[in-house]
Structures are given as structure tokens and as C-alpha cells.
Amino acid sequence: MKPIYTIGITGGSGSGKTYFLKNLSQRFRPEEICLISQDHYYKPRDLQLTDEKGFQNFDLPDSIEREKLFNDILRLKNGETLQKTEYTFNNPQAKPTMLEFKPAPLLIIEGLFVQYFPEVERELDLKIFIEAKDHLKLSRRIRRDNEERGYDLDDVLYRYQYHVMPIYETLIKPLQHQADIVIPNNQHFERALDLITWALKSRIKEKVV
């Protein structure tokens, strides 16, 4: 089996990681690319740490089942197919589905702590950091958490101020300096997307040759 090229995509909450990944994946055939998100490796809600007001904090490194994430990355790179239940953040409107991940020439791992966990970071051949202005990240977070996770506005704003931003400023933002590519996503990222698509397709072609 040819070596799998592994790309890590990280950045602040609301920076557009998932949207970038969705657009990137649409430019490849299903058999060319495997996408895996850190979001499916959150610990169960009853195991999440809470702050002094009793709010569960999903923005801590300890909120992730990092060993399972790392082991699944290794399994995919070894050619194994994985199945995992979708994580729905206890949203009663969302029905979890069984997800299947198949090995492919390109393995893309997306999430807040993809670069932060050293064991995961060492497996990355390319590190992409996506950034955006704070007010844009907040507005995107409000929309996502309301529509996808069922949080009301007060909940979202509290978590953003006391959970999201402190972790971003101390643990995530400094990782920009270790990334191979930093993409600003304030208006659009089409040119960056075109360049990365071209580079990855060229790599797949080289592997075939």
C-alpha cells in the first residue's frame, strides 16, 4: 500500500474549518480522500469537565478522547476501515448516524486540537491553520451552535467568552507559527483552496505514476 498523505486542518472555533473541508472534499472523488473530524471524538457529556457555574466545557483538550482519535488515525494509515457513531452534542433534534471512514491516498484530519496534540501533530505531512476576525468567528459560532447543537444565545455567548476565547488565545492561536499554511477566512478562501487542491491532486498523480 502506498503511503497516505496526511493533512491537518485547525484554527479557532468559527474560523471556517468545516466549511473549508467541505469545499475541499467536493473537488476529489470519494476514493481519493478520507475526512475525519475531531468533533466525533468528544467524551460523553457526563464525563465533560464543568466550570464554576456548572457549564460543561467542550473547549478543553481534556474534552477529547485523544487516544481513540490517535489510534484511529494510525488504523486508517494502516489501511483499515473504521465505523464510528456521530457525536451530536446531546442535541435532541439530531439523530446520530453511523459513520464509515475508508483509507484513501489523502487523509484529512480537522479539529481544534489537531496540531495541539503532539502525537497527532507528528503524523501530519501538511498543517493548515484557518483564521478569521473575532466578530466573524462569533457570528458563525452563534449560527452553528443554535442550528446544529440546540444552544440558545445566552449559552453561546457565555461559552464563547469563558471557554472558547481563553483556550484559543493560550493554546490554539500560537500554533499558527508552526503551521505550513495559514489561510485567512474573512471574506473568501477560493484562491487558497485552488492552490491546495492543485498541490494535492498533483501529489495523488505522482503516487499513481
Report the CATH number at residue 174: 3.40.50.300
| Rounded (10°) CA dihedral 16, 141, 34, 24 | -30
Question: CA torsion 209→121→88→53, rounded to 10°?
Answer: -170
Among 24-28, 78-82, 178-182, 201-205, whose mean pLDDT is lowest? 201-205
DSSP element (H, E) containing 159: helix 153-159
Given a cut of 80, is residue 96 above it in pLDDT? no
Determine the angle formed by the axes of helices 17-25 and 190-208, rounding to 10 degrees. 50
Query: pLDDT higher for 70 or 187?
Result: 70
Instruction: Cite the beta strand spans of the chain per DSSP E.
Output: 5-11, 33-37, 82-85, 98-101, 106-110, 126-131, 181-184
pTM (whole model) above 0.95:
no
**Domain span including residue 103:** 5-208
- What is the mean predicted confidence (pLDDT) over 80-105? 83
User: What is the average pLDDT across 173-192?
Assistant: 88
32, 121 contact by CB (below 8 A):
no
Residue 140 pLDDT > 90: no
Whole-angstrom CA distances from 158 to 2, 31, 151, 174 are: 47, 41, 11, 23
pLDDT, position 209: 44
Q: List pLDDT tens digits, range 6-22.
A: 999 998 887 888 888 88
Asked whether 183 and 130 are in contact (CB, 8 A), the reply is: yes
User: CA-based diameter of the chain, in Å?
Assistant: 58
Q: Give the model's confidence band at 44: pLDDT under 50 very low, under 70 low, under 90 confident, else very high.
A: confident
Which residue, 15, 20, 123, 24, is CA-closest to 69? 123
pLDDT, the chain, mean: 87
Average pLDDT value for residue range 55-72: 94
The per-residue pLDDT for 85 is 86
Do 124 and 175 form a contact (C-beta atoms < 8 A)? no
* Structural domain total, the chain: 1
